[in-house]
Structure 1
Amino acid sequence: MANDYNHPNRSRSLQRAKRRKTNIILNSLIVIVILLIIIVASFIFLGGGKDDNKSSAPANTAHKQETSIDSNKSKSESNGDKNGSSDGTVSDNNDNTGDSSDDSSADKDSDNSQLDDSNVVANEGNDPNVKKTYVNPSWKPVGTSQTGGHQYSSDFNSTDWKEKEKALSYATGIPSDQMTIWYMSRVGSDSSVIGTITSKKDKKAYRVYLEWIDGQGWKPSKVEELNHNDRQ
């Protein structure tokens, strides 16, 4: 009888032990799964953030490079306007006529240097053919691309001639393609020039005096409005 009684007790004890082992295994598996989920989630979030930072860096760099290129381009264009010159074929030291053939419609410098500007002082000239004399204290040299010193030239295609043409346009406010140069001559030296021009629009004639400034180019010193073109 004792053996029959102990047998069921032993079976229940074994079953309880098996359940405890099963519960321990299940709990361990649950803990492992949770840990794996945490690790994977951390990798995704932390790893993704680093990738985003890396990917944004080149974009910022590219933006800075584009800004730098645009800035350099703007500076380059600005310098080109200051040092540019007009093309044309006209007479020098004679009475033949010639027209400037500059493709530009107006010189940027001349747009701001009209003879009716409020800074211009106008006086009656002593020459009977001089209607008015203009002297503008704000006139500046037009710039030069000549290197190694000034090289005076009467060649219509030379740099010096084109820069003199630009100075004539700047002083009178007449765009290069609307100006006819009738006469251009040195006065005593290579650094002093007189030019006679007319406007194609209103046919007004002007005598312009230019002075060479080393390293800066031709600068207008005086403009005389003539009653008639004495070089035609």
Structure 2
Amino acid sequence: MANDYNHPNRSRSLQRAKRRKTNIILNSLIVIVILLIVIVACTIFLGGGKNDNKNTAPANTTHTQDKTKNTSKNEKDNQNNGNNDNSTGTVNDNNDQSGNATDDNQSDNSSTNENGDTSLNNSDVVANEGNDGNVKKTYVNPNWKPVGTSQTGGHQYSSDSNSTDWKEKEKALSYATGIPTDQITIWYMSRSGSDSSVIGTITSKKNKKAYRVYLEWVDGQGWKPSKVEELEHNDRQ
């Protein structure tokens, strides 16, 4: 009877011992797995951060190099555009020279004063005192030339401010006085005895100076200034 009783107890003890050993092994394996996971995770995070830094530096360098190349390219393009603009300006000057008078003639025959308008105090201009009470000075330039014309089939005199003839007279007024056409106020423009002779009274929008300008028509070449009078005051206002 005693042996039968001890046998079941011994079996249970053996089973409990096996369970403990199995649990210890399992727990140990779990701990090992956790440690491995922690080690791998640290390796990934720490090692990945270093790799990111290494990869970032070349990327920034490449971006800087590209930016430098683009800047250099833009500078070259701008330089080429500047050269093209100069070339265009040269062509325009040549085209102007094919006419009877050019804007260069205007520049050659006048100089800029402190008020922004182009004065008549040029070495080619002959200035005399006025011959009446309202004329301050009289200017004559032997080098004045006709301003050119686009009129064909002969001269067509016109008092219409939108006509070709009127625009060419405006150009001649600007040429004679050196005042840009968009800075001129025309107070009077009329024939002086014939269709080929004109007198115009103008003022400068900048300095309000008044001038009386005499123009003569040259067949096939356009209007040519013959005399400019600087007035004491605008007698057409």
Q: Give TM-score, length-normalised by structure 1.
A: 0.56
Which structure dedicates a bigger proportion of its chain to helix?
2
Distance 1:221 1:73 in 2: 30
Question: Which stretches of structure 1, 4 residues or longer, exceed 6 Å deviation after superposition?
Answer: none
Q: How many residues are treated as equivalent by the alignment?
A: 142
CA apart distance, 1:79: 2.3
Distance 2:134 2:186 in 1: 18
Distance 2:135 2:92 in 1: 42
- Map 1:154-169 onto structure 2 (within 5 A): 154-169=159-174
Counterpart in the other structure of 2:149: 144
- Map 1:50-199 onto structure 2 (within 5 A): 75=91, 78-79=94-95, 109-114=105-110, 115-199=120-204
Distance 2:98 2:133 in 1: 37
Candidates 211, 220, 228, aligned match of 1:223: 228
Distance 2:89 2:128 in 1: 44
Q: Answer with 1 or 2: which has the greater Rg.
A: 2
Query: In 2, are the aligned partners of 1:83 and 1:145 still within 8 Å (CA)?
Result: no
Report the more deviating stretch, 205-214 or 72-81: 72-81
Distance 1:126 1:160 in 2: 30
Cα 1:184/1:137, change in 2 over 3 Å: same
CA apart distance, 1:150: 0.3
Matched position secondary structure for 2:153? coil
Query: In 2, are the aligned partners of 1:166 and 1:176 still within 8 Å (CA)?
Result: yes
Distance 2:229 2:89 in 1: 39
Higher relative contact order (CA closer than 8 Å, sequence separation 6+)? 1
Deviations 1:13-34 (A, max 9, x none): xxxxxxxxxxxxxxxxxxxxxx
Distance 1:179 1:144 in 2: 20
Distance 2:175 2:193 in 1: 23
Distance 1:206 1:154 in 2: 19
Counterpart in the other structure of 1:200: 205
CA apart distance, 1:111: 3.1
Query: In 1, are the aligned partners of 2:109 and 2:143 still within 8 Å (CA)?
Result: no
Query: In 2, are the aligned partners of 1:110 and 1:174 still within 8 Å (CA)?
Result: no
Distance 2:187 2:222 in 1: 22
Q: Give TM-score, length-normalised by structure 2.
A: 0.55
Deviations 1:62-90 (A, max 9, x none): xxxxxxxxx99965663258769xxxxxx
Candidates 210, 216, 223, aligned match of 1:211: 216
Unaligned stretches of 5+ in structure 2? Answer: 1-86, 111-119
